[in-house]
Amino acid sequence: MGGKAFAHPPHSLSTPRIPHTIYVLLRDKYICVLSRFYQNVASPIEAPEKASYGDIDILVSEPHPTTTIQSLSQALDAKTSISTSGSPSTSFAISFPDYSDKYIQLDIHVCPKSTFTWELFTASHGDLWNLLGTSLRGFGLTANNVGLNLRIAEIEHLDRRRSMLFLTSDSTSVLDLMGLDVQKYWRQFANVNELYEYVISTRFFRKDSYVREGLKSNDRKRMGKRPLYQQFVDDWLPQRVGVEEQSEVVELTRESVLVEVLDRYGKKEEYKETLRTWRKGRADLQARQQNKEQRRAEAIAEAEYADAWIEASQLAGI
């Protein structure tokens, strides 16, 4: 929530940005506390060169039987908390060290056991996955909170949700598919430049995907909220020498990537079945629409015939 969850009534608490040194100490302290309540606890790797943070984000899964919001608040010595029905995240306001009127915002995100590692993977390095996602999108691939998905082109323009075919939640396999260094991913980047170099090292990178005028609406909105993304598009990429040549080394198409991922993840039959089901549903819908239109046309014709008969009868004096 960017450190603003408690800024408004009824809470109206001051949650100033957290200096890096204090952030690290508190992050590790809270991970230790939460380990008493959850089987899995971790904080995403931070974006590079951040001097301060708006909040502290920690991912957890598999709560112990006695874990409740109340028990967490007590263990964290939180003043208050905010939970939204249906949301997997809870924000806690915890006293800022050495300040009686300022607070730390701690956001705890509860993940299903099956997606904990994947969500930790995609949440790491700040906006890295927003940048990588722009590269993947042009090849019919989308990463969400569950894993990497294929968007079936024939279905996508009519029903994006139903076009999604799950491929994998194995982070190492995804990095390998993208041609990215696995070891580099699981350590913090030394600086922003190193992170940007990592982004353009994927074999899916195409400079044209990051031209501001050609960005999707979600990416344009992201530009206003995510300085790291905006800086990459507007400042760093236009000045990076040799990007065009690097992105043209291997010619990939959406069709070739489709064949590759279906084979790599053993999804050929599921892909065919999804298409068969979709096409049958579309054919059935079209047949129902045609029948409906035919019945409507017949009803109109009958009404017109009846009107004509009545008019003729009246003229004939029947």
> Element (H or E) spanning 39, and its range?
strand 38-42
How far is residue 310 from each of residues 57, 270, 297, 300, 314, measured CA to CA in Å? Answer: 77, 59, 20, 15, 6
Query: Can you tell me the distance from the alpha carbon of 47 to that of 188, in angstroms, rounded to the nearest whole number?
Result: 7
Mean pLDDT for back-to-back runs of 10 residues, the chain (318 residues): 82 95 97 98 97 96 96 97 91 94 96 97 96 94 97 93 96 97 96 97 92 72 79 92 62 94 98 94 69 66 67 67
Q: Which pTM value belongs to this model? A: 0.84
Cα distance between residue 60 and residue 271, in whole Å: 33
pLDDT at 106: 98
Instruction: Compute the distance between CA of residue 315 and CA of residue 236 in angstroms, rounded to an integer.
Output: 84
pLDDT of 301: 66
Which ranges of the chain does DSSP label H, i.e. alpha helix? 20-34, 69-76, 116-123, 128-137, 153-156, 160-163, 171-178, 182-185, 192-200, 217-225, 227-231, 237-239, 243-247, 254-264, 268-315
pLDDT of residue 290: 64
pLDDT at 84: 83
Q: What is the pLDDT of residue 23?
A: 97
**Per-residue model confidence (pLDDT) at position 93:** 97
User: For residue 243, what pLDDT is reported?
Assistant: 75
**pLDDT value, residue 298:** 62
Distance CA 310, CA 305 (A): 9
Residues counted in the chain: 318
DSSP result, 158-209 = T-HHHHEEEEE--HHHHHHHHT--HHHHTS--SSHHHHHHHHHTSTT--GGG
The pLDDT assigned to 295 comes to 65
Question: What's the pLDDT score for residue 283?
Answer: 75
